[in-house]
Structure 1
């Protein structure tokens, strides 16, 4: 999780080469058969306004754009990816989408679902990060693998996970992972005690995750490990398990490099958006699914 918003044009470059096929699949899922609504509204060129209806961080612009690209439409943004949208209890125009009426209708629900979910995750992430920074934490805030099947790309784009499989002991697991992945592989080991952490570090783990430790336990163990292995081994310490917006500050300790929590992407409140086709002179009422 980055501290500052970055230009939305850069975010697309973080996505895997296959990401656009996911958008195609989401559109196919939403309209699996005849598009009766599209047939009714026809192909007349229309514009629609994307309205932000609740305050939060705008996120998911590349996905929103691609949905409408595949529906034969173009998007002009009036707000920046990563910026805070403040609606003050009303609504704010965020983008104009132009294209055939059936394309606007076809892409509307998929695009809004993606934007609402992605923006909700970004909003929760930003809020927790701000709280941690205010309390003095200088490390990294990260998500976990508790993501929605089929929608992980949206919830975690730009983030990387590393896995170590069970091989009977921590030392064997690290050696097997290094042998299989080569010199470039970063190995993370989840531990339940300081003794397990020592074994992982000695075996060459790059990241040691202290799982389900108390706040006080985190501070004691992390300081002990950093002092014990100073000058001998390079490794990152991560804390995970049970961290929420309400208790994360109790885990703050700058001997910890990464705080990871599913609370920034699992069960977060969505940000509310709507897309309304604009009514122009001589045209009928607005069309919306």
Structure 2
């Protein structure tokens, strides 16, 4: 899974972002420059241009966030590559790719520099690993969805979920309001899977799917009988998943229910995920594509 994937083209993903997303930019900039900008005083407002370089292999992701950071600092940016493009190839200028030209007052360039690079490096790292894992799954014959999880960094979820999307993965639920997911703690607190699903259905309405985390085929049967839309086979072995998924498909299709989805999750990484590949599974979800992910190395250098 170490190979760099091919460029992606999803169109303009910035149209997905909520109206409130730009408020986060102010918080990031305020965190980095909470009072006086001493370095900015040194360089002043003399007009400069700078090149944004990718210095390690990866996929560009996070363009809307970088654009807004640059604009807030009184500068403009002209991208030389598209979001989703492969950059930093060892065959490309000694491992460096010129991704964009940023223009504006020197002080503004340096105010934007670190905040923009941090966001870009993190988002690109997630997109790069996501697509590498997805590429390996497709090569192994998997036709379903690869999805992330809600194990994201507080205050940075929008960027991390965006990176998953650029990388080709399903974002899964973005927050607790996006879908009803009943995990072991919900079931234990309520008393049973059946009661938990019944309670969820009483308030969720027709537009929200209900998913139940299960530890066995028997629990999956109970969840489906109660009306769950998705069952998550949690912490199964690869062989166990294949047996359980095929059995559930056959049994419930014979009962006239073929619309439910089967998800697999729990401890999946590049070392073991291919062992879970079978097309009775609709969704493979893992935090591996966004937790502990190496950043893609970018730098911004003023041209001189």
TM-score computed with the length of structure 1 as normaliser? 0.91
**Number of equivalences:** 276
Give CA deviations for 1:20-66 in whole Å, capped at 9, x if unaligned: 11121111111111111122211122111000100111111111111
Q: Where does the alignment leave 5 or more consecutive residues of structure 2 unmatched?
A: 1-5, 166-170, 174-178
Q: Is the 8 A contact 1:116 1:272 kept in 2?
A: yes
Which of 208, 218, 221 is matched with 1:198 structurally?
221
**In structure 2, distance between residues paired with 1:233 and 1:171:** 20
Q: Secondary structure at the match of 2:95?
A: coil
**In structure 2, distance between residues paired with 1:149 and 1:270:** 18
User: How far is 1:138 from its partner?
Assistant: 0.4
Which of 202, 212, 230 is matched with 1:207 structurally?
230
Q: Secondary structure at the match of 1:120?
A: helix
Moved over 3 A (4+): none
User: How far is 1:233 from its partner?
Assistant: 4.7
Q: How does 1:1-289 map to 2 (within 5 A)?
A: 5-7=8-10, 10-88=12-90, 89-157=94-162, 158=165, 159-161=171-173, 162-165=179-182, 166=186, 167-230=190-253, 231-279=256-304
User: How far is 1:206 from its partner?
Assistant: 1.5
Q: Secondary structure at the match of 2:115?
A: helix
Q: Where does the alignment leave 5 or more consecutive residues of structure 1 unmatched?
A: 280-289
Q: Is the 8 A contact 2:210 2:230 kept in 1?
A: yes
User: How far is 1:75 from its partner?
Assistant: 1.0
**In structure 2, distance between residues paired with 1:201 and 1:177:** 14
**In structure 2, distance between residues paired with 1:239 and 1:130:** 18
Q: Secondary structure at the match of 1:238?
A: strand
Q: Is the 8 A contact 1:52 1:87 kept in 2?
A: no
How much is the aligned-residue C-alpha RMSD, in angstroms? 1.5
Q: Is the 8 A contact 1:7 1:80 kept in 2?
A: no
Give CA deviations for 1:161-189 in whole Å, capped at 9, x if unaligned: 13435232212222222222211011111
**Change beyond 3 A, Cα 1:164–1:128:** closer
Q: Secondary structure at the match of 1:229?
A: helix
**In structure 1, distance between residues paired with 2:223 and 2:63:** 40
Residue aligning to 1:286: none
Q: Is the 8 A contact 1:72 1:103 kept in 2?
A: yes
Q: Is the 8 A contact 2:149 2:172 kept in 1?
A: no
**In structure 2, distance between residues paired with 1:95 and 1:262:** 30
Q: Is the 8 A contact 2:7 2:85 kept in 1?
A: no
Higher deviation after alignment, 239-248 or 173-182: 173-182
Higher deviation after alignment, 253-262 or 10-19: 10-19
Q: Secondary structure at the match of 2:25?
A: helix
